[in-house]
Amino acid sequence: MFDTFKNRLELTGTLTTITALKIGAGRSIEVTDPDVPVVKDANGHPLIPGSSFKGALRSRLESFLRGIDPEFAHDPSELTSSRWMNRVKNLKKTADNISDAQDRDIHLTRELVKLTDKVSLMFGSPWLAGKLQIRDLTVQEGNWFGQYQERDGVAIDRDTETAADQRKYDFQVVPAGTIFDFKAAAENLKEPELGLLMVGLTQFENEMIPLGGGRSRGLGVVRLDLTEMVWVNPQNRDELLQYMQDLITGTMQQYIFTQQEVEIHKANWALKLVEDLMTPTASV
């Protein structure tokens, strides 16, 4: 899927915590630390792993697509099962019978794509690399004042509906109003996949996808604000050569969307997504 460059989408923005955020780094053994501190970078500043954002985004999109057709989004935990891996092995055995190396690779790739559900085609599966990259979200230096909050937690005994003995703990959270930098990039996405990505990001823009732990108690509400969208979609050899030259010279202004262009492309990609989801597909 990556042997030929087709397009690239770059997204830049900010992620603001609307309520306190808890992304735990595991239980601490330091006496002065809370029982469960938040994830931090090398400078001791709070950090949102890109995998956490990507996982929440994937989970929400999977739930949407399963509501339309369960075959559109398989359970990721099942994709490593022997049943699925045996299917992949059988495809490889069949491809090995093709003598020409290029034809063999093309055939195997085509069959693996057929085996892969719509969400995994973008986010990746055990046999196909994902097309979407999300960087770790680092806190904005000018808006971070080194303050954390500590809160108490307690396990509840389900029989007595009271606090369980010796099950009290404290945990650290990033306060509301903290701003993180957001950067993402995707390559070789088809128009329906671009539409699917926009649906998910719009959920973050509308504060509809929480992050981290403690979500049932109101933690983890965040808002995404996209400030820049760069779209590179060369249609021929000359346009690709021009893009390569522009990369070297840093002349990228022509690839940056205006707000009006963003809304037009979002609508077009969403339409392509709906058309794709309405197209009958063979069950795998």
Contact 206, 18 (CB under 8 A): no
- Domain-wise residue ranges, the chain: 8-74+117-277
Average pLDDT (68-90) is 88
Q: Percent of the chain beyond pLDDT 90? A: 54
Tokens 């979609």: give the residue: 233
CA 138 to chain centre: 16
Model confidence at 246, pLDDT cuts 50, 70, 90, reads: very high
Which residue blocks in the chain are alpha helix, DSSP H?
A: 50-68, 82-96, 101-115, 118-123, 191-205, 237-249, 259-277
If we measure between CA atoms, which residue out of 255, 78, 254, 113 comes closest to residue 190? Answer: 113
CA 66 to chain centre: 17
pLDDT at 57 over 80: yes
> What is residue 281's predicted lDDT score, i.e. its pLDDT?
60
Mean predicted lDDT score pLDDT of the chain: 86
The pTM of the full predicted model, rounded to 2 decimals, is 0.84
Q: What is the pLDDT of residues 255-273, one digit of tens each?
A: 999 989 999 999 999 999 9
pLDDT at 32 over 50: no
Contact 122, 193 (CB under 8 A): yes
Which DSSP string do the residues of 22-43 spell out, in sequence order?
--B------TTS-SBPBPB-TT
